Structure 1
């Protein structure tokens, strides 16, 4: 049996020190005041914030459903889960095919970091499908007028696991990407 990859999304606790060389130079608290922090970077970070909020909203909705306090649960889950997963998938496509290829040549020390983020996106695709399947199982029960508690418990577990993976990925992605933009801003124009 092989040892698990310590840099895999479900195993790591953050970026290893050798991939934090720019993150350590540019602490998060100083990002917005930097001259290379632009509107596109602010928008990108806002999107990440939106993904965190939507994921939290999904978890809270299912928790309320299990507490018997969410009569609009089915409609809300369908709407928010669809928006969340579609937007997240599209966001990753743009990063993988447009942004990351621009960043990689700027600093060869961080190439492994972008490889990790790409692997994260593939791992998250599996979680996206699992979350969609769990959501659909609940929605099928609701549509049939059947008790969906068992499926809702499974969905809540999937939502919480997804939140853990998503937050780890977004935090690491921000710690890699934003410092690259701050360090090499002029080279990106």
Structure 2
């Protein structure tokens, strides 16, 4: 696969994989009859991942600045960091094992995009492992909040790239074909 399509270096999906966005632009998604239900739920999950990353980054920044003590930071990292890792793993499993194959068959011209997203998931496994080790280091008093902050920022940048590309590819397919047969 082209190195420019690697999660760490890409700036977005190639135009050919974003072709359905012309017919289904983001600012019109909510008005589409196929938005309610699956698409809305799926985008809410993505929003949760964004919020968890933002919250963890804000907490780590507050700890670095001395506005949040370790006894306040640690339970938040344990709770919200654990939630982020568990929910992302589950979310990716469902996508890899069910949604990507089904959607790829519905829009075979976009199959390469689903391969890219699947590759992202494998890359994110390593990122989640690194994030977990950093979070555990903070909880065990072996890693400073500043190191964790850098870890969460790096992780968040790649997660945001992945989520945006995933939405650009998947949402238009579901809006075009409807959610029937995906459940």
User: Which structure 2 residues correspond to residues 35-184 of structure 1 after superposition, within 5 A?
Assistant: 35-71=33-69, 72-141=72-141, 151-184=144-177
Q: Contact 2:50–2:160 (CA<8 Å) still a contact in 1? A: yes
Pairwise CA distance, 1:38: 2.8
Task: Tell me how many residue pairs correspond in the alignment.
Answer: 180
- Superposition CA RMSD, Å: 1.6
Is the partner of 2:7 in helix, strand or coil?
coil
Structure 2 unaligned segments of length 5 or more: list them.
Answer: none
Q: Residue 23 of structure 1 is aligned with which of 18, 21, 24? A: 21
How far apart, in 2, do the equivalents of 1:184 and 1:4 lie?
A: 29
Is the partner of 1:24 in helix, strand or coil?
helix
Q: Deviations over 1:92-150 (max 9, x none)?
A: 00111111111011111100000000000000110000000001111111xxxxxx6x6
Q: Which runs of 4+ in 1 moved over 6 A?
A: none
Q: So what's the TM-score if we normalise by structure 2?
A: 0.94
Q: Contact 2:38–2:179 (CA<8 Å) still a contact in 1? A: no
